[in-house]
Amino acid sequence: MLLAVSTQTSIGLFVLFLSLVIAVVFGLVNLRQGRAEVGSEIELAPNRKPYLPDAELEGRKLDRTLSIGLLGLFILGIGLPLYWLQEPSRQEGAEERIREEFIQRGEHMFAPTAEGGYNCAFCHGPDGGGGSTPYTITDAEGRFVKEVQWKGPALNTIFLRYSREEIRYVLEYGRLATPMPAWGTKGGGPLTEQQLQNLIDYIGTFQITKEESQQQVAEELPKAMDERDATCVSARTDAAKAGMTEEELASFDASTVDTDSCPLAWDSEGEALFNLGYNDGFAGGAYSCGRCHTPGWSYGEKGEDGSGAMGPNLGGVLTQFPGDVLGVTQMTDFVCTGSTNGARYGQYGQGSGRMPGFCVVPAVEAADGEVGVVAHDVGTAEDGGMYTQEQVQQIVEYVRSLAR
């Protein structure tokens, strides 16, 4: 591509140079001929002096003039098509340069405050793999309740579950009652639409593939199934610390506490997947349904699974998706693809667009005003997304068990 662009530029410069040479030569010849007329206008003025005879005008001079004109036409006829022959490559090169520039701008915005950025890396991790941030919880009247450590979800899988338009919406308006503020000017934030595109373009550079995501889940799930009940582990740990001096506490290793007799944290793989990352912070909870549907989940004080938080209470899923066979199938399809704003789902549901799809990768399409976006088609449930279709069905069966 760069070679094509370089060749096209060289042709254009050669044509420009040749045109300038012809113009300069023409000008110099006319100036030289015009100097002899100064002070002798009556004898040498073109309209007064005898001109060449017809025999000479219609001979070599005419041939020479026609040859020069033909050469000019040849240069234009060959040079311009050659110049524009590589126009598609030039446009592709321009789009690539635009993408690179947008990504660099987005990287600068994603960086920590100390590096001049907007500190996305502080909450979501420098590589977008998830992190945590302090957050002050207040009541309905804005009064202090407590300070917590809030899990910042990983962003390296966000394109596996959200479209560009949905990602832009979250950035534009933020997430209510979470540490995620509104960043777009429409939501009262500091970033223009162009800056939001730059940030989205940069986030797109560190995405993992659906195969990598599913592999991570396959490796994390057995660990989750071996986890012990957090309340029991905490009690055993506090008991082991009791009576220790400050020096002993400074060197205390919680992994040495015997917790083998504590009950398992999760009774099924569906429950573990629903809460993936709750105890060990895996991916900042990005894979977890509980992060949105369970109060207190994001700061380690979760209530009853599926009782509702930013996402709705899941107690009515059997009414929304009735039937032991059809209901499971329809609900699995819904969780795989997510909701579409204004579109119906289940018996009575109407989508808001905020529910992501967990086993169908959304299509990538440029939003209004966006440039340099590389589009691709929507994925399939058979290929999976963040989760496989089978894993989503396990989650669905667990959620339905909560409503029985």
Reported as a single tens digit per residue, the pLDDT across 154-184 is 999 999 999 999 999 999 999 999 999 999 9
Q: Lowest-pLDDT range, 43-57, 167-181, 255-269?
A: 43-57
Give dist(CA 9, CA 315) in Å, integer. 65
Rounded alpha-carbon distances, angstroms, from residue 112 to 4, 189, 285: 39, 17, 21
> 2 falls in which pLDDT band (50, 70, 90)?
very low
Give dist(CA 244, CA 253) in Å, integer. 12
Give all domains of the chain, ordered by start, each with its CATH number: 2-85 (no CATH), 107-206 (1.10.760), 220-227+267-402 (no CATH), 228-263 (no CATH)
Give dist(CA 117, CA 123) in Å, integer. 13
For residue 169, the model assigns a pLDDT of 94
For residue 94, the model assigns a pLDDT of 81
Q: Lowest-pLDDT range, 5-14, 233-242, 255-264, 341-350?
A: 5-14
SS3 131: strand
Q: Please state the pTM of the whole predicted model.
A: 0.79
Give dist(CA 282, CA 279) in Å, integer. 8
Give dist(CA 283, CA 278) in Å, integer. 10
Assigned token pair, 113: 């405050």
Residue 360 half-sphere exposure toward CB, CA atoms < 13 A = 18
> 1 falls in which pLDDT band (50, 70, 90)?
very low
